[in-house]
């Protein structure tokens, strides 16, 4: 079974631009979560989607948004990029969203904002 895939793996943008990151979950997984990882703040939860609906949300500004498609693939968007948005963005999937099972993480997208 293929793992979680994220595209692109690396991205360089400038301040003020917007960016869209993509995540394809493991086949059959319907829950997708997004995390931001920076050296200073560590791994922080952004949001989770299940059945095309946002189920949980972390403490990030409205510039961070996401969506999920009917095939469970998910995208996250960051508008008006700031230097502090430079980070590794990780996507994780699991079969459902209530049960306590492990999450499977993708390799991440490393975003650099100049």
Partner 1 sequence: DAKTTQPPSMDCAEGRAANLPCNHSTISGNEYVYWYRQIHSQGPQYIIHGLKNNETNEMASLIITEDRKSSTLILPHATLRDTAVYYCIAPFTGTASKLTFGTGTRLQVTL
Q: Which residues bind partner 1 (CB under 8 A)?
A: 4, 31, 33, 35, 42-45, 48, 55-56, 58, 90, 92, 94, 97-108
The β-bridge partners of 82 are: none
- Closest separation between CB of residue 67 and partner 1, Å? 16
- Closest separation between CB of residue 78 and partner 1, Å? 19
The two most distant CA atoms of the chain are separated, in Å, by 40
First to last CA, the chain: 37
Number of residues assigned to the chain = 114
d(CA 13, CA 17): 7
- Closest separation between CB of residue 90 and partner 1, Å? 5
Nearer to partner 1, 13 or 110 (CB): 110
Nearer to partner 1, 17 or 27 (CB): 27
Nearer to partner 1, 70 or 99 (CB): 99
Residues 32 and 49: beta-carbon distance below 8 Å: yes
């Amino acid at each position: 079974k293929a793992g979680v895939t994220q595209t692109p793996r690396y991205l360089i943008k400038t301040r003020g631009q917007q960016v869209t990151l993509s995540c394809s979950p493991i086949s059959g997984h319907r829950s997708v979560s997004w995390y931001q990882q920076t050296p200073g703040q560590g791994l922080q939860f952004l949001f989770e989607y299940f059945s095309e609906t946002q189920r949980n949300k972390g403490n990030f500004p409205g510039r961070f948004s996401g969506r999920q498609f009917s095939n469970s693939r998910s995208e996250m968007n960051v508008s008006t990029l700031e230097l502090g948005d430079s980070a590794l963005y990780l996507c994780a999937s699991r079969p459902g969203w209530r049960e306590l099972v492990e999450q499977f993480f993708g390799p991440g997208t490393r975003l650099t904002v100049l």
